[in-house]
């Protein structure tokens, strides 16, 4: 029993419960559509696999001729001819192995590339709501382990089945022709190989499943603790010792299971090799008696002994082929599950390009109603870390915007204020079409944004959020994300307008400074100004700011406010107001409460109206002018 024979029985360590899973109708047919571009390579690959199986069987038969027809009769010519033929077959077998590996890699890696790029592109088209629910690790797993598992259906699993079936048929046929008595004894010994493998295999499956769960938990711990926010939380709460202890415990359990799994695996390999040696001894014993009794010659005995080693591996492997096939098919099914999730936000078939002329457009909300989508509309339970039995419609997913209508004039600043959870951020998300309204319309220059292409919409609308995200890359790369072909002069000009060039210019690496994970090497104000510089590079005609100046100190706020004047000049702006200076500068203020526009007007008009805006002003904004305390008993309301 060689190592290759053991490797062919890899399915014993896999989860056999996979065979009880139900595939969606049409999965197998759909798999063939992915194999279609590689059909010629597949045909050549299977031919090579088949020829390799024939060569493997031919060598023992040639040994029979070498002994019986060459050595025993003392025919030197026959010995040399057969010896040369065996050497030629060895060379051919080596070439076939290389060819088999080449086509296997070509097909497998090509399929991985096709599936990964298709899944990645499809995920990129999903709405932002999809990413708010999906566990990143589960999604990444679909592009890694599941995609690799899927390609095995067309390479290792397929080749293994073809090679094993053909080898088994040829070996049995050859052995029966040589001696049906020895073949019968060999078949009787088959349970001695399968039963121990199944017995140990069940324990390996349990250990493998537990090991995968522990590896996932350990990986999750590392992911959460190694990012900047997680590491900071651990340090600030003084819990590194406890974290080390927890990780040590989990790593120790992985170590213990690894040792146990290795021992089970080694025991199985040793036992199978021992059984194979005993089976060979039985064959030699029985065959030797038959040789003595002149039933056949000694060359036939040597050939039978060589063939017996090629009999048990394919039989044991084929006894578990259902696990291998279903594992590959289930991986395909999990990939298709993601591909079949239709994007909630998609371009209409007749979508047109939204013009981005020199003049700033108007923005209108026309009787807009909106509720956030439920999980079944945007996500998959298998991609969420926690699946709770939430009813389809509850108070939690009732309408968050109700009959919202307003007109944002072209080139003017419209400020949104209101209590926390009133719907301000939702309004800004609808302008960028991160979601679609349930009823009503969002219009830019009189055109419903659902009737335009998303690419053209995003060229017109620029957004800066409260927590400006930076990729773990250089400042230059983060800025150029808005305009890939931007020149050095354009980058410097945008940074100057955003009040950040004076800082970048004195850095040792300047624009090539790496900002770190999520931009954590920068302060909040610095990140916001770089985000504004990125916006200026994009040069949108509509600007949406979601509390872009919140949580900044006074010095950073002053710098960001200076950058905002450049960013908003001549553009139609929707700004969630957090600072008094933004409100006073606004041409129009919309007061949002409970998903409705309850007041609108300028700062003096709304103060004079003595409504919700005045209450918000006295509790939040008046303190910025040093007049806090007029309504000190009034609970503060977030804006």
> Do residues 353 and 452 make contact, with C-beta atoms less than 8 angstroms apart?
yes
* CA trace torsion 479, 480, 482, 486 (10° rounding): 120
Most confident of 183-192, 556-565, 628-637: 183-192
Q: For position 324, what pLDDT does the model report?
A: 66
Tens of pLDDT, residue by residue over 475-507, are 999 999 888 888 999 999 889 888 889 889 998
- State the pLDDT confidence band at 236, using cuts at 50, 70 and 90: low
Nearest residue to 613 (alpha-carbon basis) of 584, 633, 572, 571:
584
* Mean pLDDT, rounded, of the chain: 79
Q: pLDDT tens-digit profile of 365-424?
A: 999 999 988 877 776 766 665 544 444 444 445 889 999 999 999 989 999 998 888 899
The pLDDT, as a whole number, for residue 525 is: 79
Tokens matching residue 391 = 């009813």
Q: Judge contact between 542 and 444, C-beta under 8 A.
A: yes
Nearest one of 470, 346, 369 to 426, comparing CA atoms? 369
pLDDT confidence band for 442 (50 / 70 / 90)? very high
Q: Which of 262-276, 293-307, 428-442 has the highest mean pLDDT?
A: 428-442
Average pLDDT over residues 603-619: 87
pLDDT number for residue 356: 66
Give pLDDT, residue 407: 94
CA distance 93 to 89: 6
Q: Residue 434 carries which DSSP code?
A: S
Query: Rg of the chain over CA atoms, in angstroms?
Result: 35
| Spatial separation of the C-alpha atoms in residues 638 and 619, rounded to whole Å | 9
CA-nearest of 315, 350, 363 to 571 is 363
146 has pLDDT over 70: yes
CB 406 within 8 A of CB 443: no
- Could you tell me if 288 and 301 are in contact, meaning their C-beta atoms sit under 8 angstroms apart? yes
Neighbours of 259 (CB within 10 A): 10
Give me the residues paired with residue 543 across strands: 462, 573
Q: Evaluate whether 138 touches 335 at the Cβ level (below 8 Å).
A: no
| 93-97, 163-167, 609-613: least confident range | 163-167
Q: What is the pLDDT of residue 13?
A: 47
Q: pLDDT, tens digit, for every residue of 415-431? A: 999 888 889 999 999 99
DSSP category for residue 390: -
Which residue in this structure is represented by tokens 């890899």? 10
Which of the four pLDDT bands, split at 50, 70 and 90, describes residue 637? very low
Residues 31-59, mean pLDDT to the nearest whole number? 86
Q: What is the mean pLDDT of residues 329-335?
A: 78
pLDDT band at residue 83, thresholds of 50, 70 and 90?
confident
Output the pLDDT for position 19: 46
Token pair for 447:
């055109």
With 0-12 / 13-18 / 19 or more C-beta atoms within 10 angstroms meaning exposed / middle / buried, residue 398 is exposed
pLDDT mean over 302-310: 83
For the residues 311-328, what does the mean pLDDT come to? 70
Query: Which tokens go with 478?
Result: 């983060």
CATH fold, domain 3-339, is: ABC transporter transmembrane region fold (1.20.1560)
Under DSSP, is residue 354 helix (H, G, I), strand (E, B) or coil? coil
Summarize the chain as % helix, strand, coil (round to 5): 65, 10, 25
Looking at 483-602, list the stretches that DSSP marks H as alpha helix, in order from N- to C-terminal side: 488-497, 501-504, 524-538, 554-568, 580-585
Residues linked to residue 596 through DSSP beta bridges, in sequence order: 593
Distance between CA 72 and CA 66 in Å, rounded?
9
**How many whole angstroms separate alpha carbon 209 and alpha carbon 341?**
28
pLDDT at 220: 67
| pLDDT grade for 309, boundaries at 50, 70 and 90 | confident
* Domain residue ranges of the chain, discontinuous segments joined by +: 3-339, 363-373+397-625
Fold of 363-373+397-625: Rossmann fold (3.40.50)
The 10s digit of each residue's pLDDT in 560-586 is: 676 777 777 888 989 987 777 778 888
d(CA 621, CA 577): 10
For the chain, the residue count is 639
Asked if residue 22 has pLDDT above 90, the reply is no
Identify whether the C-beta of residue 475 lies closer than 8 Å to the C-beta of residue 503: no
Q: What is the pLDDT of residue 593?
A: 92
């Amino acid at each position: 029993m060689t190592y290759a024979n053991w490797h062919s029985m890899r399915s014993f360590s896999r989860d056999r419960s996979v065979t009880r899973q139900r595939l969606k109708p049409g999965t197998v047919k759909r798999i063939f559509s992915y194999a279609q571009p590689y059909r010629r390579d597949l045909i050549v690959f299977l031919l090579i696999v088949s020829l390799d199986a024939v060569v493997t069987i031919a060598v023992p038969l040639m040994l029979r001729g070498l002994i019986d027809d060459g050595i025993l009769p003392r025919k030197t010519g026959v010995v040399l001819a057969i010896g040369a033929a065996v050497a030629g077959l060895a060379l051919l077998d080596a070439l076939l192995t290389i060819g088999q590996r080449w086509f296997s890699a070509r097909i497998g890696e090509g399929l991985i590339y096709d599936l990964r790029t298709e899944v990645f592109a499809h995920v990129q088209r999903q709405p932002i709501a999809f990413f708010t629910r999906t566990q990143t690790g589960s999604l990444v797993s679909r592009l890694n382990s599941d995609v690799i598992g899927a390609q095995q259906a067309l390479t290792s699993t397929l080749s293994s089945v073809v090679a094993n079936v053909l080898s088994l048929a040829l070996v049995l046929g050859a052995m029966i022709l040589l001696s049906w008595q020895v073949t019968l004894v060999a078949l009787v010994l088959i349970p001695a190989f399968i039963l121990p493998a199944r017995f140990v295999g069940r324990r390996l499956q349990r250990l493998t499943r537990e090991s995968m769960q522990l590896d996932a938990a350990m990986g999750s711990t590392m992911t959460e603790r190694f990012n900047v926010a997680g590491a900071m939380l651990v340090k600030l709460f003084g819990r590194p010792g406890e974290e080390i202890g927890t990780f040590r415990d989990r790593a120790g359990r992985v170590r213990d299971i690894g040792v146990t799994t290795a021992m089970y695996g080694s025991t199985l390999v040793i036992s199978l090799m021992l059984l194979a040696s005993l089976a060979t001894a039985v064959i030699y014993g029985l065959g030797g008696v038959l040789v003595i009794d002149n039933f056949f010659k000694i060359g036939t005995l040597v050939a039978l002994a060589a063939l017996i080693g090629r009999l048990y591996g394919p039989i044991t492997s084929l006894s578990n082929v259902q696990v291998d096939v279903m594992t590959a098919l289930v991986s395909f099914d999990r990939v298709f599950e993601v591909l079949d999730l239709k994007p909630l936000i998609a371009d209409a078939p007749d979508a047109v390009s939204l013009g981005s002329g020199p003049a700033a457009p108007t923005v209108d909300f026309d009787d807009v109603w909106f509720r956030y989508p439920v999980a079944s509309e945007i996500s998959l339970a298998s991609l969420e870390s926690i699946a709770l039995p939430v009813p389809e419609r509850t108070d939690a997913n009732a309408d968050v915007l109700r009959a919202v209508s307003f007109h944002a004039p072209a080139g003017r600043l419209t400020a949104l204020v209101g209590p926390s959870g009133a719907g301000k951020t939702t309004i800004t998300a609808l302008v960028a079409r991160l979601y679609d309204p349930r009823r009503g319309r969002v219009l830019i220059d009189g055109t419903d944004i659902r009737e335009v292409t998303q690419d053209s919409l995003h060229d017109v609308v620029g957004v800066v959020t409260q927590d400006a995200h930076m990729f773990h890359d250089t400042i230059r790369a983060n800025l150029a994300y808005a305009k890939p072909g931007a020149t050095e002069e354009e980058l410097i000009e945008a940074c100057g307008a955003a009040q950040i060039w004076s800082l970048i210019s004195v850095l040792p690496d300047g624009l090539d400074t790496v900002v770190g994970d999520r931009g954590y090497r920068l302060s909040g104000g610095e990140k916001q100004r770089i985000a504004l510089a990125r916006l200026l590079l994009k040069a949108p005609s509509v600007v949406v700011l979601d509390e872009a100046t919140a949580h900044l100190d006074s010095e950073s706020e002053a710098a960001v406010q200076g950058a905002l004047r450049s960013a908003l000049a001549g553009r139609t702006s929707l700004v969630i107001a957090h600072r008094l200076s933004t409100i006073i500068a606004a041409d129009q203020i919309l007061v949002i409460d409970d998903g409705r526009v309850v007041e609108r007007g300028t700062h003096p008009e709304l103060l004079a109206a003595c409504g919700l805006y005045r209450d918000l002003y006295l509790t939040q904004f008046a303190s910025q002018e040093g007049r806090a305390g007029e309504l000190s008993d009034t609970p503060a309301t977030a804006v």
